[in-house]
Amino acid sequence: MSERPLVLWAHWTRQVLAGAGLRKTVVETPVGVQTVFVGGTGPVLVLLHGAGSQAGTWSSVAGALASSHTLVVPDLAGHGESAPLEGPIPVETVYAALEGVVGPHARRAKVTVVGNSLGAWMALQLAHRHPDWVEGVVAVDGGALKGTHAHARLLPKTREEARASYDAVMDPGAPRASDALLDDMVLEAREGPLARFAGTADSMEPWVLDEAQLKALRVPVGFIWGSSDRLLTLDYARRHLDLLPDARLVVLERCGHMPQQEAPAAFLEALGGILGNDAPPARM
């Protein structure tokens, strides 16, 4: 396991979630059993990770957020410990599982959904399809319009390609990736959930939102964006802002594609501002 930094990181971050008081539960859905971390107190805040990741991506901010919110943090379908554990992961499966996880909470009271990358896409889809469930959306370096990024950048075949992928999602001032991490990225690109998800790209088109659908969205949307994100740049965020009737953007300087990991204190401050709360202290 010492040669698999990503495996070690996933294990450690999930332990951090448990240490923050979130209990690991399972939810039966039409597309299989989903693993969800739940804990905290207050209004429900759903945290959705990006493609290829898992619930532990929120480990640096979960403890702080759980002091004022009930957190619902799933492994999205096909990721972490959620079904399907093998084979393709179509968008429709990810979304159906999300409905199954969020529905029991949202039917009692509206929820706020915070999503990073793929999680932001699914959050906006949920708000579009179930405005009666969603109080608001916070999209973190992600959206629901058709993007221009290529899956090839996320599925490196060599160590050199992996370094380019790492550089695309991290700020230039971030620690340099080790060779072991780069090699693990190549392995994940061959057999991990990101590869299984990207392999269904031909079926994704019906799941993007068009301009008319975004203009009709009546749920407030906040965007938190890392200025150094070269996978999805600020121009992509601004395309959404031009269409949404109730939206705002907070840009985090010297930060890449995953602010909740790279700059948790700044992320919490930005999220607190969007939610109308004081920023809780980051717990590293």
The pLDDT score that the predictor gives to residue 33 is 98
Q: Is the pLDDT of residue 148 over 60?
A: no
Q: What is the pLDDT of residue 1?
A: 45
In a domain, 131, yes or no: yes
Environment class of 3 (CB within 10 Å of its CB; exposed 0-12, middle 13-18, buried 19+): exposed
The predicted-structure confidence for 108-146, as pLDDT tens digits, reads as follows: 999 999 999 999 999 999 999 999 999 999 999 999 998
Quick one: pLDDT band at residue 277, thresholds 50, 70, 90? Answer: low
Instruction: Report the CATH number at residue 165.
Output: 3.40.50.1820
Q: Please check whether residue 23 lies inside any domain of the structure.
A: yes
- Domain encompassing residue 143: 5-272
Average model confidence (pLDDT) for the chain? Answer: 94
Residue 280 included in any domain: no
Query: Between these two residues, 32 and 280, which has the higher pLDDT value?
Result: 32
Q: Is residue 2 very low, low, confident or very high in pLDDT (cuts 50, 70, 90)?
A: low
Would you say residue 282 lies in a domain?
no
Quote the pLDDT of residue 3: 74
pLDDT above 80: residue 175: yes
In a domain? residue 94:
yes
Burial of residue 120 (number of CB atoms within 10 Å: 0-12, 13-18, 19+): buried
- Domain-embedded: residue 278: no
pTM for the model: 0.95
Confidence of residue 260 (pLDDT cuts 50, 70, 90): very high
> What is the tally of structural domains in the chain?
1
Q: Does any domain span residue 279?
A: no
Mean pLDDT, residues 184-206: 95
188: amino acid identity, one letter: E
Whether 52 is covered by a domain: the verdict is yes
Helix (H) or strand (E) run with residue 248 in it: strand 247-252
Residues facing 48 on adjacent strands: 115
